Amino acid sequence: MNGQVFLRAQGLRKNYPGMTKPAVAELNIDLKRGELLGLLGPNGAGKTTTISMLSTLISPDSGTLNIANIDALQFPQRMRSMLGVVPQGLALYPTLTLEENLRFFGRLYGLSGSILRQRIDECSEFVALADMLKKTINTFSGGMKRRANLAAGIVHQPELLFLDEPTVGIDPQSRHQILANLRELNQQGMTMVYTTHYMDEVQQLCSRVMIVDGGTVLTQGGVTALLKQHKCDHLEELFLRLTGKQLRD
Amino acid sequence: MIPSLLVQTWAVFVKELQLLRRDRGGLAVLFIMPVVLVLIVCLVQDNILKVSGATTVKLLLVDHDQGALGQTLLHQLEEGGSFSVTRVENEIDSPKAQHDVGDGIWQVGVYLPVGVSEELSRRAFAQIKQGFSELSKQEKLSTPSPTLTIEYFFDPAVQGGLQAGIRGLLHQLVASEALKLKMDAFQTLLPAQLERHISAELGPMFAQVLAQKPLKLNLPDSNEPLLQAVLANNEDKFTMPTSVQHNVPAWTLFGIFFIILPLSGVLLQERSHGVLPRLLLAPGQRAGLLIGRLLAYLMLCMMQFAIMTAVGFYVLPRLGTDILQIGGHGGALFVVALCAGLTACGFGLLLGVIAQSEQQAIMTAAVAIVISAALGGIMVPVYMMPAAMQTISVISPLGWGLDACQVLFLRGGTLSDIVPQLSTMLGCFTICLLISWRKLRHLNG
């Protein structure tokens, strides 16, 4: 199945009320099954809006979106069970245990009984939190919370996973663990869209990268090809050359 | 796999209960606070109602006389059921009785001095006899003696209206007793007076005839009134407002509306922690997310209702108050609690999507509930408020619920009588729900 276009977005545009410029303008993406796309951009570049539109959380003002040959804008419910999200925030209930969180999100996706039990065990083991299932999230460290967040995003075994800066603010060990997890999931065939500010992560992980700013795509392609094309030594140099060095607060 | 509405509803329902189970502060606010409030306020107001006459008045009758007057007063006062009379004879004197009443042991005291019954009877007889004497111009007027008195005294805490009522009743009882004695004297003296009069005017022969067939008077018992003012309200249908009848539903509603706090708190937590996008991206109908949540919080509201009702039934009577009387309105009361719960949940949802932080939501909810409670008559019944405040009170959601309870408890209403209040609550819930839903969609673009 790999190699087929799994997600196709054409002319996606989103304008928030009261804003003079669109958050995303004319976004075109073709994402193949099994691909891991790195979405890079400075703060306010439109990354989160892009992910929100691609995951059908928000509706674009114009454009089309097809996921697994389904018109995702017209029939979002038909393909939501194959989507997973790991949002930028914690996205878990801090006063519930990890098991209760995973059970809740699993149930929301229709899992039950032994299958749900199995998935809870697998996911907690996958993110190295099997011995923390009975602990409440608010007792977790920052890195554990991020790993728990990933576990909640994959408990229903999505085919397409959106990750919005999943490693922000954690120690190198947890970051290493999460990256290893993502690589493994990708090798198992999971398609991913990954946003981050860490260029090294993208360089390690992603088969393709897209740099956006001001709501438009500045460039996209394989990491090596892009570096060669723009005559840059590393991704950060390319990123700064395309987006500028002025501060984005 | 797209889960069914039932599955999603169940998932959210369980999750909400798990969240609430861990929120000990929230549970204390929902369950302990209203119970403590209803206990304190009922006991405090029970005393207030006693001094305002809404409950039985405790009366001390110091009967040094031990004659007919004391017996008559005791019988008349106890007959109406409004007084709980303690009769003592020589155990205490008037100053001691006044002291005890002043200390609030009794609310009213009545002192009958030695020989008052006998003297009253004597004077009634003398008055009638004197009347006949004036009529016949044969007997001299006796020297008027000082007016015979009995004393009564009040606990200073007894309110003016109640004092006036008791004063009027005592004056009426005393006047009635005096009249009765006069009638007895009249009945006794009239034949002899008539005989004397006929003898004087028509001669002794006529008097002898009259003596053979003496005049027999069978005046009706003066206790049988010719005219009586009767209470038109049906006693079976209307109930006096007691502190329990007012406070149990009032503070139950107050507690129910505190559901706004945890409900809005969870929503704000979901918004601030990024859970909301994850929820909204779940497959299936979003209604499940809403229904499950509403069911969980409604269940809590009904648990509050059950606990508070049990307090009214079992706890408060043991502490000396009246028992909560639901009558046949249990089902209707349940519907009121359900609608109040829905209204509170509607406000909770609305606050959860409008507020910018949990702190803001807590402050807003607490202030809004207390103001709404004050306006709605939870603390002071609406009918006791000034006219302007009574007009404003119609905006209080707690007032709608309490009004429905009062229609059921005090005015003998049925479910059909409280349809306007229930409709208002359901309408408010619907509006809150629609605004929340719209705002929620807006929050996510």
pLDDT at B338: 96
B284 in A contact zone (CB under 8 Å): yes
pLDDT tens for each residue of A106-157: 999 999 999 999 999 999 999 999 999 999 999 999 999 999 999 999 999 9
A58 in B contact zone (CB under 8 Å): yes
pLDDT at B443: 63
pLDDT at A239: 87
A22 in B contact zone (CB under 8 Å): no
pLDDT at B147: 83
| Residues 6+ away with beta carbon under 8 Å from B329 | B408, B409, B414
pLDDT at B445: 47
Which member of B272, B280, B282 has the closest CB to residue A109? B282
Q: What is the mean pLDDT of chain A?
A: 90
Per the CB < 8 A criterion, the answer to whether B61 and B293 are in contact is no
Per-block mean pLDDT, blocks of 10 residues, chain A (249 long): 80 89 89 92 87 91 93 88 89 95 95 95 94 96 93 95 89 88 92 90 89 88 89 87 75
A77 contacts on B by Cβ (under 8 Å)? 2, 283-284
pTM metric for this prediction:
0.74
Per-block mean pLDDT, blocks of 10 residues, chain B (445 long): 83 95 89 92 76 73 90 85 85 88 86 90 86 60 72 83 86 87 85 79 75 70 68 58 84 94 91 88 84 93 95 91 84 94 95 91 92 89 80 90 87 88 96 88 61
pLDDT at A62: 94
End-to-end CA distance of chain B: 26
Helix H, strand E, coil C: the string for A89-117 is CCCCCCCCEHHHHHHHHHHHCCCCHHHHH
pLDDT at B26: 86
pLDDT at B208: 75
pLDDT at B241: 66
pLDDT at A19: 85
- Name the nearest CA neighbour of B312 among B410, B360, B362, B242: B242
Cα of A53 to nearest chain B Cα, Å? 9
- Which of B13, B269, B270, B275 is the best mutation test for A, with the most CBs of A within 10 A? B275
A49 contacts on B by Cβ (under 8 Å)? 445
pLDDT at B90: 79
pLDDT at A248: 67
